[in-house]
Amino acid sequence: MQKMSILQKVLDTGVVAVVRGASKEEAFKAAEACIEGGVKGIELTFTAPQADQIIAELKAQYQDDAGVCIGAGTVLEPTTARIAIMAGAEFIVSPSFNKEVALLCNLYQIPYMPGCMTITEIQTAMTYGSEIVKVFPGSVVGQGFISAVKAPFPQVNIMPTGGVNLENMSDWFDKGVVVVGAGGNLVGPAEKGDFAQVKENAKAYHARFEEIKQGLNR
């Protein structure tokens, strides 16, 4: 049940912010700004310094907000995956598929969202228990890839990351994705310390998703 409830939280967020950072403080404040702006799905990448500590601190700060879902990104192997899970990560995201990470996540009932860009990779990920597959990089494979994949695999749940912005977000959902990952277009201002702008961006992304959701429910 844990895995299913986490997956539902991810789907409810609609947008997962891909948070990096040159420092622990930058990454934490960027994630905080996203959550305060309404984007409550956070993929805290392990390219950020002390990523596991950031995850633990975010979990503690937002423990009373049931809508907040903190996961770990750029997880390349099972050791990092376990560190992330022990820190409280609710989902694991990778830029590519790793069998050992998939098996570890299955053991702990944690959703694993590996990056895939071929039909074979997607089938492998699904075989190893990935309920949501990250199509990455979205800017390279394009939206037409989603339609092509959904033909033989109508049951696959896709999260495109890379190339998603406010202008084309609805187009991705029209193609059949279930959630989107947003990086630089959302959290980019954090690099200059402009966390207020990150919060404003998050408000815009959240509002756009709410509009899209209403259209999907008609």
Q: Helix/strand/coil (H, E, C) string of the chain? A: CHHHHHHHHHHHHCEEEEECCCCHHHHHHHHHHHHHCCCCEEEEECCCCCHHHHHHHHHHHCCCCCCCEEEEECCCCHHHHHHHHHHCCCCEEECCCCHHHHHHHHHHCCCEEEEECCHHHHHHHHHCCCCEEEECCHHHHCHHHHHHHHCCCCCCEEEEECCCCCCCHHHHHHHCCCCEEECHHHHHHHHHCCHHHHHHHHHHHHHHHHHHHHHHCC
Residues β-bridged to residue 158: 133
**Choosing from 3, 134, 175, 199, which is the catalytic residue?**
134
Write down the pLDDT at residue 216.
Answer: 72
pLDDT in tens, 71-123: 999 999 999 999 999 999 999 999 999 999 999 999 999 999 999 999 999 99
Stretch 133-161: mean pLDDT: 94
Residues β-bridged to residue 43: 18, 71
Distance CA 12, CA 6 (A): 10
Distance CA 210, CA 196 (A): 21
Write down the pLDDT at residue 199.
Answer: 98
Known catalytic residue at 59: no
Distance CA 200, CA 37 (A): 6
Stretch 193-211: mean pLDDT: 97
Write down the pLDDT at residue 99.
Answer: 98
Domains in the chain: ranges and CATH: 2-210 (3.20.20.70)
Which residues does 4 contact at the CB level (< 8 Å), separation at least 6? none
- Whether the bond between 137 and the residue before it is cis, its omega within 30 degrees of 0, is yes
pLDDT in tens, 3-22: 999 999 999 999 999 999 99
Distance CA 182, CA 195 (A): 16
Q: Ramachandran region of residue 156, left (φ > 0), alpha (ψ -120 to 50) or beta?
A: beta
Write down the pLDDT at residue 217.
Answer: 65
**Choosing from 43, 57, 90, 131, which is the catalytic residue?**
43
Stretch 148-158: mean pLDDT: 95
pLDDT in tens, 29-81: 999 999 999 999 999 999 999 999 999 999 999 999 999 999 999 999 999 99
Known catalytic residue at 192: no
Please, which pLDDT band fits residue 26 given cuts at 50, 70 and 90? very high
**Do residues 202 and 33 make contact, with C-beta atoms less than 8 angstroms apart?**
yes
